[in-house]
Amino acid sequence: MNSTTDSLEDAPAHRSFGRKLLGWLTEGVLILIGAVVIATLLRTFVGQMFVIPSGSMENTLKVNDRVLVAKFGGFQRGDVVVFEDPGSWLGPSTPSTNPVKIALEFVGVLPSSGTEHLIKRVVGMPGDHVRSTEDGKIEVNGSVLDETGYLYSEEGIQVAPVTVPFDIVVPADRLFVMGDHRNASADSRCRLAEVSQNPGESAFVPTSKVVGAAVAIVSPLDRLATFTLPETFTEVPAAVEPAPEEPELIHVEPGC
C-alpha cells in the first residue's frame, strides 16, 4: 500500500520536471533562432567577414587573414573593396559541400570562404582618367599616386606600380581596381586589351558587384588592424567630365 502511495506522490514531481525541461528546451530553441536571425540581418545589412585566399593584396593583406567588410557607408577611391567576380576573373572552383559550414557562413558565424569574391584596391572611380606615366607610376585625373605606403615589398625592394603602359577613362557605374602586389594580381590592368565584342569592358568592375569596403583585419590576432585611406588618394581631384557609357581606351597593350 505504501509503495502505491509513493508512486502516486512521485507522479506530479515527474510531470513538473518534464514541464521545466520542455520550457528550457523551448527557451533554448527560441534563443538560437533569435541569434541566427540577428546574425543573418547583420550579415545582410551591416557587415560580413571574408577569408583572404591569395597573395594579390600583400603586404596589406596576407593569405588566411580574416577581413571585416562594411556593407554601409559606401566606398571611395583608394578603399580596399570586396566584390563578386564580374565575369571570368576567377577560374573554376570546387564549392564546399559541408552543410554545417555552409549554413554557418551564410548566417555570418564563420567568415565566407567562397571562391566567387575578390578583393582589390579601388584606383579609378566612374569618369576617372587613369593612366601610366613615362616613369612607371599611376596617374589619376592628373595627380600622380605615391603608392610606396602600400605596394608589396620584400627585403626593401618594392614592386613597380605598373610595367605595361595604359591610358583609359573609367565608364559609368564601373571601377578600375588593382592589387597591392602588382606582380601577383590579375586585376583591371590585365584585361584592358582582351579581345571581345566590347573591348575593355571586362576590365572594369560594376559598382553593383561591390559587397563593401574592408574596415579591419580581425584575425589572426597578431594581424589586427583597421584600414585607413592612403593620403595620396585625398589629393586626387574629381573627374573633369561625366563618366562615359563605354570604356575609353586611349592606349592599351596586352599583359600587365
Catalytic residues: 56, 120
DSSP state of 219: E
Which helix (DSSP H) or strand (DSSP E) does residue 186 occupy? none
* Spatial distance between the Cα atoms of 19 and 228, rounded to a whole number of angstroms: 55
Is residue 119 within 8 Å of 50, Cβ to Cβ?
Answer: yes
Return the amino acid letter for 133.
T
Q: How many CA atoms lie within 13 A of 37 on its CB side?
A: 6
φ and ψ of 217, to 5 deg: -90, 120
Measured CA to CA in angstroms, residue 204 lies from 23, 135, 146 at distances of: 56, 24, 22
| Cis peptide preceding 59, ω within 30 of 0 | yes
- How many CA atoms does the CB half-sphere of 91 hold within 13 Å? 1
CB of 200 closer than 8 Å to CB of 166: no
Q: Confirm if 127 and 242 have CB atoms less than 8 A apart.
A: yes
User: CA-CA distance, 178 to 219, in Å (whole number)?
Assistant: 23
Within 13 Å and on the Cβ side, how many CA atoms surround 230?
Answer: 19
